[in-house]
Structure 1
């Protein structure tokens, strides 16, 4: 069971910061009905939006899913309308109505800047909510997708574990990608697909103590992985396997190229919008590729030695 302190979020003064601009993406009555259905409250009670949101929080808390609800609300995908407005038309962004909401550390890489703005929004909303919770002598805290409400004077030390890419991680990413597909956010799928392949390569290189410069050169990462895992084709290989590996390399090249030209990470004059079928194919292909390379890494001597040492 989650902390009973989450009940404090049902306060309508708090819910204002969870459904309205300039703080967050505006949610209409229909949006709140959809949000409620997603989290087990298909018909949230209330004669207005604030009361509906309070009803959703109450039901979600009863199911011990408040952390999931908050993580969803503050996800980059859900904040996308506000973030896009800030990044593309900053002088007109409603975020400018919030005192001191000026970000001077944006990188120019849209995929990174989206995360930076999302984090800034989350921290600013938490600050405003805590100004209300202060009278209850508690505060809301968050690290990644972990949330809690703790005594106001409690010293918080947050340690963020490094999340390894495994079957569970890939399954979760696939679910997120399918949600993007349902929402029509095909650009995000391109970015997720390329990022998954890149991170898998970097993890394998780290597992095998191979040093490399993190410069975003996915082909360089792949070449190092292929060399370390002994995946260079040889005369001993079945020619069909050799051909398959060649096709894998080609697919990886295409995923990297599509991310650079066709995703939400970069603006490009060569950008070609992809449709649902191609986005789904790209998502499933990247998941299959990532799983394949992880399987090869699992049968490598490094991994076998690790399993033996664990007993």
Structure 2
């Protein structure tokens, strides 16, 4: 169960930071209704936008989903419009109006700069929210995608937990990927696809206490996983299954190649703009591959 202190976020002075510029993308009544539907509140109660947002936070808390809601609100897919304005130096970018807004380390690499600006937006909003929570003796803190409300006097321990990849994790990634499709953020889908497959291979190797060199070589990881799981032609493995696996391996290689040449993760002279159909194919393929290998690993353990 979530901490009851998450109820403090229902304060309308706090919800303003989640629906209004300059802090975040402006949310209309229609946008808030869509957000409510996503988090199980088809018709958010309230006479205005702030009160509707409060009811969504209350419902998310009742369903132990406040963390998921906060992660979604601060996700780059949600913040991208306001971040793009800022990075393009648009004269109407309201982030420029925030005196304490100062993203550090911008390099011109768009994929990296988007993350830097998103983190700075989160930092500034948390600072404002915690200024309000101070009078309740509490503060909202984020550690990766984990959220807590703790005593204002408590020390924050920063750690980098390893999130287990399971059906829920993959479902959440698929949801974010579908959001990216709607936002036409096709390049990031290539990166997400490759990263998911690599992380699945790493998790399988670690679960089975296999020593390996972590160097980003997805082909090396895959070969170790195939050997570990016995995914070779044998009396146990039907030849047609091994043939299918070989095709899956080829798709894995292709995803890795596309990530290296065509995604938002690297600059490349061979870069080819990926379109919606190909992005959706990659997303669905990576999810299918990840699920398949996890199930084979479960059968092996």
- TM-score normalised to structure 1 length: 0.77
- More divergent stretch after superposition (53-62 vs 121-130): 53-62
Partner of 1:259: 259
1:198 aligns with 2:198: yes
Q: 1:140–1:266: structure 2 CA closer, same or farther, 3 Å change rule?
A: same
* Cα pair 1:21 1:94 within 8 Å, conserved: yes
* Cα distance, 1:14 vs structure 2: 1.9
- Separation in 2, partners of 1:106, 1:234: 53
Q: 1:34–1:239: structure 2 CA closer, same or farther, 3 Å change rule?
A: closer
* Cα pair 2:25 2:79 within 8 Å, conserved: yes
- Separation in 1, partners of 2:298, 2:6: 42
Partner of 1:209: 210
Q: 1:102–1:4: structure 2 CA closer, same or farther, 3 Å change rule?
A: same
Partner of 1:273: 274
Q: Secondary structure of 1:77's match?
A: helix
Partner of 1:24: 24
- Separation in 2, partners of 1:226, 1:63: 39
* Cα pair 2:231 2:242 within 8 Å, conserved: no
Task: Count matched residues.
Answer: 297
* Cα distance, 1:224 vs structure 2: 4.0
Q: CA RMSD in A?
A: 3.4
* Cα pair 1:186 1:279 within 8 Å, conserved: yes
- TM-score normalised to structure 2 length: 0.80
Q: 1:38–1:246: structure 2 CA closer, same or farther, 3 Å change rule?
A: closer
The 5 Å alignment of 1:142-221 reads 142-182=142-182, 184-206=184-206, 207-214=208-215, 216-221=216-221
> For 1:88-140, what per-residue CA distance to the aligned partner results, in whole angstroms no more than 9, with x for missing partners?
42586543433343333457665555444333322221111111222232222
Unpaired segments ≥5 residues, structure 1 = 304-311
Q: 1:140–1:260: structure 2 CA closer, same or farther, 3 Å change rule?
A: same
Partner of 2:88: 89
- More divergent stretch after superposition (232-241 vs 9-18): 232-241
* Cα distance, 1:17 vs structure 2: 1.7
Partner of 1:291: 291
* Cα distance, 1:250 vs structure 2: 1.7
Unpaired segments ≥5 residues, structure 2 = none
Q: 1:22–1:228: structure 2 CA closer, same or farther, 3 Å change rule?
A: same
Partner of 1:128: 128
- Separation in 1, partners of 2:42, 2:298: 42
* Cα distance, 1:263 vs structure 2: 3.3
* Cα pair 1:110 1:266 within 8 Å, conserved: no
Q: Secondary structure of 1:149's match?
A: strand
- More divergent stretch after superposition (152-161 vs 138-147): 152-161
* Cα distance, 1:191 vs structure 2: 2.2
